[in-house]
Structure formats: C-alpha cells, structure tokens
C-alpha cells in the first residue's frame, strides 16, 4: 500500500498511530469479509488493534483488504441529524412510505368537507396537511395502514378516535394509531387510547446518523466496492430486489408493495450478489425526502448472514447519500430485533425516538 501526502489522511494501515479513527475491511478465517470502525489502540508489524463499540478487534495486516482514516465522530449535541424533532422525522418517514390512499384528520378539514357537502365550501377547497395522517394500503405493513398522530387534530380525543375507527372500519382494516415520543416522554394521545382500550403493539426504534460516519469516511459508493460482491444500484426495484422481499415472480406481487417502494420523491434500490457464483446476497432501499435519506428493506440472504454483506450495503448506500449531498440518515428497526439494533449502533446510528402502534381490539 502507498502512503498519502503529508498532512492528508492515510490509507496505509501500517502507518496509523494510536488514537486514529479508522475503518478497516478484512477477511475472516471462516471466509467472507467483516468491517471494524473505531479507534486504533495498537499497531504492530503483525496486527492492527481497533477499539470498536463491541470491544477491541485485532486484525492481522495480511488479512486487511481495504482501510482508511475517517473524520472524528460528530458531536451528538447540535449534529444535523439530531436537530429535527420526532414529529418532523415521522413526517419524513411518512413521505418515504406513503400509500395511494391517505387523508388528513383535522377539525378544519372536517369543517371544509361538511361545508362542501352543503355547497358552502371555502373557494380554495384546500386540505391542510396537519393533524393525524390516515393511511391505507390494503393491510400491507403497519406503517402504511395506521393513523400517524403527528399534530393536535383540533378535536377532542373521543371524536378523534371515533373518526379513526370509522375510517379504517370502512376499509375493512383494523383501526390503528402510530404514537411516538422521545425517551421519558409520553405522546398526548396515549391516555385517551389507553382509556378506549386500544392495545400497544410493535415497539420500534427510530435511529439517525451522519451519512459520512456510517460510510466510514467514504464519499462515493465506488470506494466501498468489494471484489467478492457485485453491487447494483437502480432507481427502480428489479426482479432480484423483489426476490429478496420474497416475491421472485411478477405473479402474486402485492400492488401496494410497488406503490410503497416507489412513493418517495426519490429512491434507490441496491442488490448484491456473489461474484463467484451469482448467488443473491442482499437488498436494501434508500429513499429521499426533505434532504434526508431513509434506509429500509435491508435484507440479507440467511445463508450468508454475519458475513459483512449487511454492513457493506448500509455503508454503500450511506456513501451514495453523502455523494448526492444528503448528510443525514434515518431508519426504523423493531425493538425486539436486538441483533439489528447492535449492528446499526456499531455503524454509528443512535436512537432518535421510539414509537409503537395502538390497535383497536
């Protein structure tokens, strides 16, 4: 490996000094690749020791495939991806997973509709995007089939909950409300939903990070390409992408699925396969809204899990986001998926807030 010019970050692991923040891709003795993101604590002629969030990792120099220095982790206080509140981030999530059928539940909109029915509507006829966002996609995913309790709907809790229940029942869907809050706080709608007997379900963690940190300092996807994996980015979901979601043929693919995958102002689809035998390795989606990049549908072939493919996909999409000028990343992972939570934390994601669903039983 060659040394960079003096004063510039070095990509030669043997030259790194203790305290340097680095990312290293290395071969595993059992086969496959893995990554270590952290701070150098020791560097001998034989091995590099990196302190990561999971502890110290000793990497023989002979097994290193790629490595380079990365900028220091950004301060969480004041970081761009921490500046947005839960309601704002939920709006971004909603814009990247929005079904064809949706409506805003707010007192002003209700009055507008009633006035229209009586022939006395406001000339603008405008529906204000505030209150609770009602979403329906034929039952495909909880996110697309629940009322997102974003803002004060301008109505008492009782009539609001009744309106939600009626809207979903008319569509033969189970009424559900998505409520969210930062740690230590409670959403204003919780008490009324609790009193109405709506049960909690699917607690989920919303996480954010700086795209440059997740990318390990890489500023373009090409910097993370691996000789073992063929990575293809496309602006439309391919047959391979659908296969990764469990729909290998066009027959039987849910129509709402395609609508949800392609609903964002901009999205990118990643498929990864083995260079050696063409075996599918994984898929992931990156959707863009309001200068944010949202990761979703990260799926790794169970046969090759823990081989570094998931990390590769997330980092590659983070580098793509950074290259396109999107500095903040977000994702959602169910609370019970502890392995995924640890993996995202190791990549630099931190908890932003939590949410769950209140379901009418």
Q: What are phi and psi of 145, to 5 degrees?
A: -135, 45
**Element at 86 (helix H, strand E):** helix 86-95
pTM confidence score? 0.76
Residues 169 and 228 in one domain: no
CATH code for the domain in which residue 225 is found = 3.40.630.30
DSSP 3-state percent helix, strand, coil across the chain (nearest 5)? 30, 35, 40
Higher pLDDT, 295 or 15: 295
Cβ–Cβ < 8 Å for 218, 231: no
**Whole-angstrom distance, CA of residue 354 vs CA of residue 180:** 6
Q: In this structure, is residue 315 part of a structural domain?
A: yes
13: confidence class by pLDDT, cuts 50, 70, 90: confident
Q: In this structure, is residue 236 part of a structural domain?
A: yes
Cβ–Cβ < 8 Å for 70, 21: yes
113: confidence class by pLDDT, cuts 50, 70, 90: low
Reported for 152-161, long-range contacts at CB under 8 A and 24+ positions apart, including other chains, are 152/188, 153/105, 153/106, 153/107, 154/106, 154/107, 154/108, 155/105, 155/106, 155/107, 155/110, 157/189, 157/191, 157/192, 158/192, 160/105, 160/132, 160/189, 160/192, 161/192, 161/193, 161/196, 161/198
pLDDT in tens, 248-259: 888 878 889 999
Residues 116 and 101 in one domain: yes
Query: Range of 322's domain?
Result: 208-341
Cβ–Cβ < 8 Å for 33, 308: yes
**Whole-angstrom distance, CA of residue 155 vs CA of residue 149:** 12
Q: In this structure, is residue 353 part of a structural domain?
A: no
Q: In this structure, is residue 103 part of a structural domain?
A: yes
Of the residues 21, 38, 69, the one at which a domain ends: 69
Q: Residue 125 pLDDT more than 50?
A: no
Cβ–Cβ < 8 Å for 191, 334: no
Residues 184 and 212 in one domain: no
Q: Residue 11 pLDDT more than 50?
A: yes
Cβ–Cβ < 8 Å for 49, 43: yes
Residues 195 and 225 in one domain: no
**Whole-angstrom distance, CA of residue 7 vs CA of residue 24:** 20
Residues 89 and 149 in one domain: yes
What is the average per-residue pLDDT within 305-329? 92
**Whole-angstrom distance, CA of residue 80 vs CA of residue 92:** 15
Mean pLDDT of the chain: 87
**Whole-angstrom distance, CA of residue 335 vs CA of residue 332:** 9
- State the CB neighbour count (10 A cutoff) for residue 99: 19
Residues 151 and 218 in one domain: no
Q: In this structure, is residue 259 part of a structural domain?
A: yes
Residues 246 and 305 in one domain: yes
Residues 192 and 153 in one domain: yes
pLDDT in tens, 222-245: 888 888 999 999 999 999 999 999
Domain count, the chain: 3
Q: In this structure, is residue 191 part of a structural domain?
A: yes
CA 186 to chain CA mean position, Å: 23
Q: Would you call 19 exposed, middle or buried from its count of C-beta atoms within 10 A (0-12, 13-18, 19+)?
A: exposed
CATH code for the domain in which residue 59 is found = 2.30.30.520
pLDDT in tens, 76-106: 445 677 778 999 999 999 999 999 899 999 9
Residues 233 and 174 in one domain: no
What is the average per-residue pLDDT within 124-145? 85
2: confidence class by pLDDT, cuts 50, 70, 90: very low
Q: In this structure, is residue 316 part of a structural domain?
A: yes
Residues 134 and 106 in one domain: yes
Residues 247 and 322 in one domain: yes
Number of H helices, E strands in the chain: 10, 16
Residues 295 and 314 in one domain: yes
């Amino acid at each position: 490996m060659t040394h960079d010019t003096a004063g510039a970050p070095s990509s030669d692991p043997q030259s790194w000094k203790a305290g340097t923040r680095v990312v290293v891709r290395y071969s595993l003795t059992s086969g496959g690749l893995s990554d270590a993101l952290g701070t150098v604590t020791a560097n001998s002629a034989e091995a590099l020791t990196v302190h990561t969030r999971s502890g110290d990792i000793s990497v023989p120099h002979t097994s290193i495939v790629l490595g380079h220095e990365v900028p220091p982790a950004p301060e969480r206080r004041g970081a761009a991806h921490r500046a947005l509140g839960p309601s704002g981030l939920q709006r971004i999530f909603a814009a990247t997973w929005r079904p064809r059928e949706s409506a805003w539940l707010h007192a002003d909109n209700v009055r507008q509709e009633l006035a229209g029915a009586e022939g006395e509507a406001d000339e603008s006829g405008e529906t204000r995007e505030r209150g609770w966002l009602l979403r329906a996609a034929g039952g495909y995913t909880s996110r697309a089939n629940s009322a997102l309790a974003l803002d004060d709907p301008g109505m008492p809790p009782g009539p609001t909950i009744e309106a939600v229940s009626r809207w979903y029942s008319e569509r033969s869907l189970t009424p559900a409300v998505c409520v969210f809050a930062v740690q230590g706080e409670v959403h204003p709608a919780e008490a009324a939903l609790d009193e109405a007997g709506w049960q909690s379900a699917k607690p989920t963690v919303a996480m954010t990070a700086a795209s440059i940190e997740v990318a390990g300092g890489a500023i373009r996807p090409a910097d993370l390409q691996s000789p073992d994996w063929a990575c293809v980015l496309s602006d439309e979901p391919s047959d391979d992408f659908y296969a990764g979601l469990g729909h290998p043929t066009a027959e039987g693919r849910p129509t709402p699925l395609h609508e949800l995958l392609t609903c964002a102002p901009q999205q990118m689809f990643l498929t990864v396969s083995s260079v050696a035998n063409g075996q599918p390795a994984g898929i992931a989606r990156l959707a863009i809204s309001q200068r944010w990049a949202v990761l979703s549908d990260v799926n790794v072939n169970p046969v090759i899990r823990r081989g570094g493919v998931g990390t590769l996909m997330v980092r590659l999409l983070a580098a793509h986001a950074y290259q396109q000028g999107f500095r903040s990343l977000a994702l959602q992972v169910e609370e019970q998926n502890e392995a995924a939570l640890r993996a995202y934390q190791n990549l630099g994601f931190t908890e932003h807030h939590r949410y769950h669903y209140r379901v009418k039983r």
